[in-house]
Structure 1
Amino acid sequence: MLALGNKARSGTAARSGTARVAVVAGLVALTLLLPAATGANPAPAAPSGPAAAGSAGFAGVGVEVSELVTTGTYDLGLINLPGLPHKVELTGVVHRPKVSLGRRLPVVVMLHGQHAGCTYDVDGFVWPCPPGKFFPSYRGYDYLGKDLAAHGVVVISISANGVNYRSGDSDDEGMTARTRLIRKHLDLWKEWTTRGNGPFGRQVLSAIDFSRVGLMRHSQGGEGVIRAAEHKGADLKPYGIKAVLALAPSGFKRRSVSSIPIAAVVGSCDGDVGPGAVKYYDDSRYAQAGDVAPKYQVIIQGANHSFFNTTWSPSGGLGGRDEWYSYDPKSSECAVGKPTRLTEDGQRKVALAYFSSFFRLHLKNERRFAGIWQGTAKPPRSFGTAEVPISYHAPANRRLDLNRLAVAADLTRNAVGGAVSQRGFQSVSLCGGAAPQPRNCLARSDIEEVTAPHQETTGPKPGLGVVALKWAKPGAIFTNHLEGAARNLSSYRQLRFRAGVNFTDKLNPVGKPQDFSVVLTDGAGKTSSVRAGQYGKALQYPALIDRLPGNRDLRIFFFHQQTIPLTAFTGVNLHNIRSIEFHFNTTPKGSIALTDLTATR
Structure 2
Amino acid sequence: MLSNKPTRFSISCALVVPLALSGLIAFGAASSNLQQQDIAPSVREQAGASRVSEPLDYRSSQIIVTDPEGIAYNADVNALVRYPLDGDGPFPVVLYLHGRHVTCSYLGNEFLSTGECDLELPRVLGQPVNVIKSVDSYKGYDYMARNLAAHGYVVVSINANDVNDKDLAGDAGVQARSELILHHLDILREINETGFYSKLDQPYLFASLRGKIDMTKVGLMGHSRGGQGVTHVLSVNQARGPTIEVGELRPAGSTFNQPHNIRAVFALAPTNFDFINAPNTTFAVLLPYCDGDVSNLQGAFMYDESRNLEETTPSRKFQLVAMGANHNFYNTTWSGDDYSNQDPLCSSNAENSGRDDPIDQRRHGEFLMSSFFRHFLGNETIFSSYWSGMASLPADACPVQSTNSGQRCDDRVHLSIQTPKQQRLEIDNTSTSLSLTMNQLGGANSTSDADRFEFCSTRNDSGSVNSTGCPSVRTWATSGQLYLESDNSESQFKTILNDLDVTAYDSLTFRVGIPVKTSENNPLTSAPEMHAILTDTFGQSAAIEISSYSNALYLPPGDPLNTEGAKTLLNMVRLPLASFQGVNFEHLASLELVHIGPTQLQLTDFQFQALAGELKLANTDTENPTDLEPSENNMAETASFLDGQSGGGGSTTLPGLAVLALMLSAFKRKRTVNCVRCND
- The TM-score with structure 2 as length reference comes to 0.71
2:651 aligns to what?
none
1:19 aligns to what?
none
User: 8 Å contact 1:508–1:589 — kept in the other structure?
Assistant: no
Give 1:546 deviation, angstroms: 7.7
- 1:369 aligned to which of 379, 383, 388: 383
Mapped partners of 1:379, 1:86: distance in 2: 44
Give 1:557 deviation, angstroms: 0.7
Mapped partners of 2:144, 2:443: distance in 1: 47
User: 8 Å contact 2:446–2:493 — kept in the other structure?
Assistant: yes
- 1:312 aligned to which of 328, 334, 351: 334
1:142 partner letter: D
1:262 aligns to what?
283
2:538 partner letter: A
Q: CA 1:141–1:415 in 2, change beyond 3 Å: closer, same or farther? A: same
Deviates most, 124-133 or 555-564: 124-133
Alignment of 1:599 with 2:608, yes or no, is yes
1:106 aligns to what?
92
User: 8 Å contact 1:147–1:352 — kept in the other structure?
Assistant: no
Cα deviations by residue, 1:197-224 (Å, 9 ceiling, x for unpaired): 2242421111211110000000111101
2:340 partner letter: Y
User: 8 Å contact 1:501–1:592 — kept in the other structure?
Assistant: yes
Mapped partners of 2:490, 2:564: distance in 1: 31
- 2:338 aligned to which of 323, 328, 334: 323
User: 8 Å contact 1:431–1:438 — kept in the other structure?
Assistant: no
Deviates most, 404-413 or 91-100: 404-413
User: 8 Å contact 2:43–2:370 — kept in the other structure?
Assistant: no
2:42 aligns to what?
58
1:341 aligns to what?
355
The secondary structure found in structure 2 opposite 1:543 is coil
User: 8 Å contact 2:467–2:475 — kept in the other structure?
Assistant: no
Q: CA 1:288–1:60 in 2, change beyond 3 Å: closer, same or farther? A: same
Q: Show structure 1 runs of 5+ residues with no match.
A: 1-56, 314-320, 455-462
Deviates most, 116-125 or 407-416: 116-125
- The TM-score with structure 1 as length reference comes to 0.80
**Residues 570-585 of structure 1: pairs in structure 2 closer than 5 A:** 570-584=581-595
Q: CA 1:244–1:425 in 2, change beyond 3 Å: closer, same or farther? A: same
Mapped partners of 1:151, 1:296: distance in 2: 23
Q: CA 1:508–1:490 in 2, change beyond 3 Å: closer, same or farther? A: farther
2:56 partner letter: G
1:81 partner letter: V
1:267 partner letter: P
Alignment of 1:471 with 2:486, yes or no, is yes
The secondary structure found in structure 2 opposite 1:99 is coil
Q: CA 1:76–1:291 in 2, change beyond 3 Å: closer, same or farther? A: closer
- 1:496 aligned to which of 502, 509, 513: 509
Q: CA 1:205–1:111 in 2, change beyond 3 Å: closer, same or farther? A: same
Alignment of 1:177 with 2:169, yes or no, is no
1:288 partner letter: E
The secondary structure found in structure 1 opposite 2:105 is coil
Mapped partners of 1:178, 1:292: distance in 2: 26
The secondary structure found in structure 1 opposite 2:267 is strand
- 1:220 aligned to which of 216, 225, 232: 225
- 1:452 aligned to which of 460, 475, 494: 475
1:356 partner letter: S
Alignment of 1:94 with 2:75, yes or no, is no
The secondary structure found in structure 2 opposite 1:98 is coil
1:245 partner letter: F
Count of aligned pairs:
514
Mapped partners of 2:89, 2:50: distance in 1: 20
Cα deviations by residue, 1:330-371 (Å, 9 ceiling, x for unpaired): x33442475621111111111111110000111011122122
2:207 partner letter: R
Alignment of 1:426 with 2:429, yes or no, is no
Q: CA 1:508–1:369 in 2, change beyond 3 Å: closer, same or farther? A: farther
1:395 aligns to what?
420
Mapped partners of 1:122, 1:504: distance in 2: 39
Q: CA 1:545–1:391 in 2, change beyond 3 Å: closer, same or farther? A: farther
Mapped partners of 1:352, 1:345: distance in 2: 10
1:252 partner letter: F
2:270 partner letter: P
Give 1:374 deviation, angstroms: 2.5
Q: CA 1:79–1:339 in 2, change beyond 3 Å: closer, same or farther? A: same
User: 8 Å contact 2:446–2:495 — kept in the other structure?
Assistant: yes
Q: Show structure 2 runs of 5+ residues with no match.
A: 1-40, 120-129, 197-202, 241-256, 400-408, 611-680
Q: CA 1:141–1:336 in 2, change beyond 3 Å: closer, same or farther? A: farther
Mapped partners of 1:307, 1:565: distance in 2: 35
2:64 aligns to what?
80
Q: CA 1:123–1:578 in 2, change beyond 3 Å: closer, same or farther? A: closer
Q: CA 1:533–1:209 in 2, change beyond 3 Å: closer, same or farther? A: same
2:599 aligns to what?
590
1:139 partner letter: K
1:240 aligns to what?
261
Q: CA 1:573–1:123 in 2, change beyond 3 Å: closer, same or farther? A: closer
Greater relative CO, 1 or 2 (CA 8 Å, sep 6+):
2
1:211 aligns to what?
216
2:164 aligns to what?
164
**Residues 542-553 of structure 1: pairs in structure 2 closer than 5 A:** 542-544=556-558, 548=562
Identity level (%): 29
Mapped partners of 2:56, 2:429: distance in 1: 48
1:169 partner letter: A
Q: CA 1:158–1:474 in 2, change beyond 3 Å: closer, same or farther? A: same
Mapped partners of 2:508, 2:527: distance in 1: 20
Give 1:81 deviation, angstroms: 3.0
Deviates most, 377-386 or 568-577: 377-386
User: 8 Å contact 1:327–1:546 — kept in the other structure?
Assistant: no
Mapped partners of 2:206, 2:213: distance in 1: 14
The secondary structure found in structure 2 opposite 1:223 is helix
Give 1:510 deviation, angstroms: 4.3
Q: CA 1:353–1:254 in 2, change beyond 3 Å: closer, same or farther? A: same
2:144 aligns to what?
144
1:126 aligns to what?
114
User: 8 Å contact 1:405–1:596 — kept in the other structure?
Assistant: yes
